[in-house]
A and B are shown apart, each in its own frame.
Chain A
C-alpha cells in the first residue's frame, strides 16, 4: 500500500503544479491567429509601378507626383527642375480588395482611369499576394484641327498588369510584374501596338518608417532607341502621408509611357528626379 500512496501523492503533485502554472499556456492553444502577411509595401507604388498594396474600404488617397526634366542638362535647366511634369489624382477603396483611380498627367495631356483588384493574399497557406491592375489612358494632346480624322478610340491605350508580391521578411519584400500594353494609335514603323514586358521590384526597410525601393522593367517589344526603365526611390512614411523621393530613367508616370517610352540612359547621366506624395483620408 505504501507504493500506492506514494504514486498517488506524486500524481496529485503533478496535477496541482500543472493547474498552477499553466493557465496561460492553456489559453495559448485556443487562440486562432489572423495569418495574412500585412504591409508588404508602405505605398501604392514601388517607384512608378504599382505595388500589391490596396487602399482599405472607403479610404481615399490623394496623389501628387512630379517628374522633373533630365538631370543631364545641368545648371542651365537647374538639373531638370525647370521642366516639371505633374500627375494629380485620387484613389478610392470600394472594398478592401477593389479600388478605382483617376488621374491627370501633364505629359501628353493624359487622363488615366484605373482599376485594381486583389485576387489572393499571402498567408500561412499561400505564398504570394496577387493583384490585377488595369488602366486606360486617354491622350488629349492631339487636336482635331491638326488631325481631322482622329477618332476617340485612337486616343486610348490599355494597360494590363499582374502584380505578384511576397513579403520575404519583415524588412524585405519582392514583386514580379508581367505587363501587357495595347496602343490603339501607334507608328508601325517604330513600334508594335502590343507590347509585352516583365519586371521586378522590391523594397528594403532601413528603419520602421523609411525604406529603399528599386524596380526594373524589361520590354520585349522595345525599339532600339528606347531604354528599359530602372528606378530607385526612398519611401518616407509619416502618419497619414507617404512621401517617395526617386530617380528614374523614364520620365512618364503612366504605365504605358513609363514602360514603353523610357528615353533616359543611366550610363550617360541622363535620368530624372521626381517624387510621389500621398495623403490618406
Chain B
C-alpha cells in the first residue's frame, strides 16, 4: 500500500513539474482585431473587435486567436446589422478563429525592439478554413509579449458573397490587422 501511495505522489509531482515547465502560456482577452474593406470615394466599411482572446505557447511558438463575430463594431449600426445578418451570418457561425505557429520563435531572444517573424496557420471564418501567412512584429517587455501584424483575405475564399449591387462599395480584398498584448 505504501509504495502505491508513494508512486501516486511521485506521479503527481512529475506531472505538476512538467506542466509548469511546459506551460509557458501568454494570453489576453482584450486582443484587438480590425478589418477594412473600404473603396475610395465610398462610405467607410471597417470594423474593430476589442474582445478577441488569444493564447501563445511560448516554448513552441503556437498561437491561437478567437473572436466573436458579433464583437465587431462598425461606425454605422445598419452596416453592423448587415455584416452579421447577410455577410458572415453570425447566428450560424458565431466565431472566427486562427490556429498557427510563429516560425523560429524563441521567447528568450525577444526584446523591447520588435522583431519580425513569419506566422503561418489556419483561419476559420464563416465555416470555411483557409491557410494564411504573414509577417508579425513581436516584442517583449517584462512579462508582456506584443504581437502586431496583418494580412489580406478575400470574402470569396470564405464563401461570403458580396452582391453585385454593392460590389463597388465593398473591396474584394479585405485588410485584416491585429494587435495582441499577451501576458503570463
Which of B11, B14, B18, B78 has the most C-beta atoms of chain A within 10 angstroms of its own C-beta?
Answer: B78
A8 with B55, Cβ < 8 A, contacts A34-B68, A34-B70 known: no
A24 with B99, Cβ < 8 A, contacts A3-B7, A56-B77, A208-B85 known: yes
Within 8 A of B (CB), among A1-36: 3-4, 7-8, 11-12, 15-16, 19-20, 23-24, 26-28, 30-34
The answer to whether B23 has its CB under 8 Å from any CB of chain A is yes
Residues of B within 8 A of A12 (CB): 14-15, 18
Residues of B within 8 A of A39 (CB): 81, 84-85
Residues of B within 8 A of A30 (CB): 29, 53
Residues of A within 8 A of B91 (CB): 170
Pick from B15, B99, B165: contact of A11, CB below 8 A: B15
- Do residues B70 and A19 form an inter-chain contact, with CB atoms below 8 A? no
The answer to whether B54 has its CB under 8 Å from any CB of chain A is yes
Q: Given the complex of chains A and B, what is the CA–CA distance between A28 and B94 in angstroms? A: 12
The answer to whether A280 has its CB under 8 Å from any CB of chain B is yes
Chain A interface bracket (under 10, 10 to 19, 20 to 34, 35 or more): 20 to 34
The answer to whether B133 has its CB under 8 Å from any CB of chain A is no
- Do residues A23 and B62 form an inter-chain contact, with CB atoms below 8 A? yes
**Binary interface encoding of chain A residues 232-273 relative to chain B, with 1 for a CB under 8 A from any of its CBs, else 0:** 000000111000000000000000000000000000000000
- Do residues B78 and A59 form an inter-chain contact, with CB atoms below 8 A? yes
Within 8 A of A (CB), among B41-95: 51, 53-55, 57, 62-66, 68, 70-71, 77-78, 81-82, 84-86, 91-92, 94-95
- Do residues B68 and A24 form an inter-chain contact, with CB atoms below 8 A? no
Pick from B27, B64, B78: contact of A24, CB below 8 A: B64
Residues of B within 8 A of A19 (CB): 19, 22-23, 57
Residues of A within 8 A of B14 (CB): 8, 11-12
- Do residues A56 and B78 form an inter-chain contact, with CB atoms below 8 A? yes
- Do residues A4 and B53 form an inter-chain contact, with CB atoms below 8 A? no
Within 8 A of B (CB), among A206-227: 208-209
The answer to whether B173 has its CB under 8 Å from any CB of chain A is no
Pick from A7, A11, A31, A56: contact of B53, CB below 8 A: A31
The answer to whether B110 has its CB under 8 Å from any CB of chain A is no
* Chain B residue with Cβ nearest A55: B77
- Do residues A209 and B66 form an inter-chain contact, with CB atoms below 8 A? no
Residues of B within 8 A of A59 (CB): 77-78
Pick from A8, A15, A239: contact of B22, CB below 8 A: A15
The answer to whether A184 has its CB under 8 Å from any CB of chain B is no
The answer to whether A140 has its CB under 8 Å from any CB of chain B is no
Closest CB in chain A relative to B172 CB, distance in Å: 17
Residues of A within 8 A of B141 (CB): none
- Do residues A208 and B55 form an inter-chain contact, with CB atoms below 8 A? no
Q: Given the complex of chains A and B, what is the CA–CA distance between A204 and B63 in angstroms? A: 42
The answer to whether B34 has its CB under 8 Å from any CB of chain A is no
The answer to whether A57 has its CB under 8 Å from any CB of chain B is yes
Residues of B within 8 A of A209 (CB): 86, 163
| Other A-B pairs, 5, CB within 8 Å; known A16-B22, A19-B19, A23-B57 | A8-B14, A20-B62, A23-B55, A24-B97, A238-B165
| B residues in contact (CB < 8 Å) with A | 7, 10-11, 14-15, 18-19, 22-23, 27, 29, 51, 53-55, 57, 62-66, 68, 70-71, 77-78, 81-82, 84-86, 91-92, 94-95, 97, 99, 163, 165-166, 169
| Ranked 5 nearest A-B pairs via Cβ | A56-B77, A23-B64, A27-B66, A4-B7, A24-B64
Listed by A's residue number, 11 A-B pairs whose Cβ atoms lie within 8 Å are A15-B18, A23-B62, A23-B63, A24-B66, A27-B66, A27-B97, A31-B68, A208-B85, A239-B165, A240-B78, A280-B78
